[in-house]
Amino acid sequence: LKNNYDVIIIGSGGAGLTSAIQAYELGLSPVILEKMDKLGGNTTRASSGMNAAETFVQLNHKIVDSFQDFYDETFIGGGKQNNPELLKFFTEHGALAIDWLAQHGIELDDLTITGGMKTMRTHRPSSLAPIGGYLVTELLKLVNKYQIPLFDNIKVDQLLMKDDQIVGVKASANQEIKIHAKAVILATGGFGAGKDLLAKYRKDLTTLKTTNQPGATGDGIKLAQNVGAKLVDMDQVQVHPTVQQDTPHAFLIGEAVRGEGAILVNNEGRRFVNELDTRKNVTQAIDDLGGTGAYLILDTSIRQRVKAIEFYDHVGLVENGKDLTELAEKTNLNPENLQATVEKWNKAVEANKDSEFNRSTGMERTISQGPFFAIHIAPAVHYTMGGVAINRDTQVLNTDNQVIKGLFAAGEVVGGLHGNNRIGGNSIAETVVFGRQAGQQVFKYLK
């Protein structure tokens, strides 16, 4: 570890790794500091994919999409509370981010769909593996190839300022250290595992479990606030509807399971919601069941479209039955109801019309190929939409909306992009789109 770099990047998730690679390729000398001993942050846990419109991958699949549709669907899904400037930049740069990844050998050639979207624009690896682990592994290969210095177990405790400009950070490893740089990128993620911030902004959610890694404690938000940054949307916390939490660890069951055709049933074996409505609305519908949670129901053809289910099964989260009656018995669901529900759903799929709940996506396949599977789920804290305010150049703004010189932020630490509900697949996209932008804007700032 030297005591001087061009730019210090705090956090080793998707945003931190991408911004470091971009800064390096522009000729800067970056350093990445990570407080945990595990690299990759919450990004490693991301499952569904990366949203982008007008990509070459979509065209390969004969899907004609538009920036405007991507914008409109995200805006509606976010309760029209999204920051328009950030959302415009985001929706118009996703395709470039997909190109950039492909140029670096990171291929996201398959497509799926998530709640609130009308088009297949969630890009994922053709292995159908969860995106997060794949992306972090591949980005780390580039970091290694370029020999970008990356240190784990170093926690940044303070941003150092001189004459209103960033000049470095104070951090703790075995001892306290000072590292100097004219620019810092906050890529510290959210506060889904930060009990103090949750208690401050959303006391009602502190009893829920979380899908987040233990280091997601909102440090970047506090670091930025201490140098005058403005915070936005801090009370907007996403509770993910489908989290298996009957074991001590909470496992997110990715939206692709529904995107590929699974349905949700209540403990009577009946559907109760459009499963691909937004996370906010599906969570509300499950909460309205009165605390029982719900079951995802799927068949073998759907299971084959989502690699992660093998893992969920391996760790004991999946019930299976050779037919629906056996599945119902194992899960204590009413067998007649479950049978009737699935029959009715299969008819809706064949007619491509769900008159019961108006679902219109994730209807490519019926639930008919045994064995059949069920996963018990309930909502858990997943993502914090609020965070530091930035402009489209990823510069952090103070409470007077002025730029804090030398301070940049990208990824979940930022607030405003997602409004009151983040669409599945937009988080990974955000880390790559704004991670690249941060690397580029730091270069411009230092020039």
Given the rule CB under 6 A, which residues bind ligand ADP? 10-16, 33-36, 41-43, 155-156, 187-189, 215-216, 219-220, 411-412, 431
Residue whose CB is less far from ligand ADP, 148 or 187: 187
Cα 68 from Cα 91, distance rounded (Å): 8
Of the candidates 301, 294, 304, 282, the residue with the CA atom closest to the CA atom of residue 341: 294
| End-to-end Cα distance, the chain | 24
Q: How many CB atoms lie within 10 A of CB 345?
A: 23
Question: In the bound complex, what is the minimum distance in angstroms from residue 34's beta carbon to ligand ADP?
Answer: 5
Residue whose CB is less far from ligand ADP, 16 or 386: 16
Catalytic residue list contains 365:
no
Residue whose CB is less far from ligand ADP, 190 or 261: 190
Catalytic residue among 45, 271, 279, 436: 279
Any alpha helices (H) in 315-369, and if so which ranges?
324-331, 335-351
Question: In the bound complex, what is the minimum distance in angstroms from residue 71's beta carbon to ligand ADP?
Answer: 21
3 state DSSP class of 185: strand
Residue whose CB is less far from ligand ADP, 171 or 239: 171
Question: In the bound complex, what is the minimum distance in angstroms from residue 136's beta carbon to ligand ADP?
Answer: 8
Distant-in-sequence, close-in-space partners of 299: CB < 8 Å, separation ≥ 6 = 261, 366, 367, 368, 369, 370, 371, 372, 373
Distant-in-sequence, close-in-space partners of 91: CB < 8 Å, separation ≥ 6 = 53, 67, 70, 71, 74
Question: In the bound complex, what is the minimum distance in angstroms from residue 216's beta carbon to ligand ADP?
Answer: 6
Question: In the bound complex, what is the minimum distance in angstroms from residue 173's beta carbon to ligand ADP?
Answer: 10
Residue whose CB is less far from ligand ADP, 15 or 183: 15
Residue whose CB is less far from ligand ADP, 226 or 332: 226
Q: How many CB atoms lie within 10 A of CB 172?
A: 14
CA distances from 182 to 6, 27, 34, 148, 349 (A): 6, 15, 19, 18, 57
Question: In the bound complex, what is the minimum distance in angstroms from residue 197's beta carbon to ligand ADP?
Answer: 12
Q: What would the two tokens of residue 362 be?
A: 């994730």
Answer left, alpha or beta for residue 127, where phi above 0 means left and psi between -120 and 50 means alpha.
alpha
- Residue indicated by tokens 């538009």: 66
Catalytic positions: 279
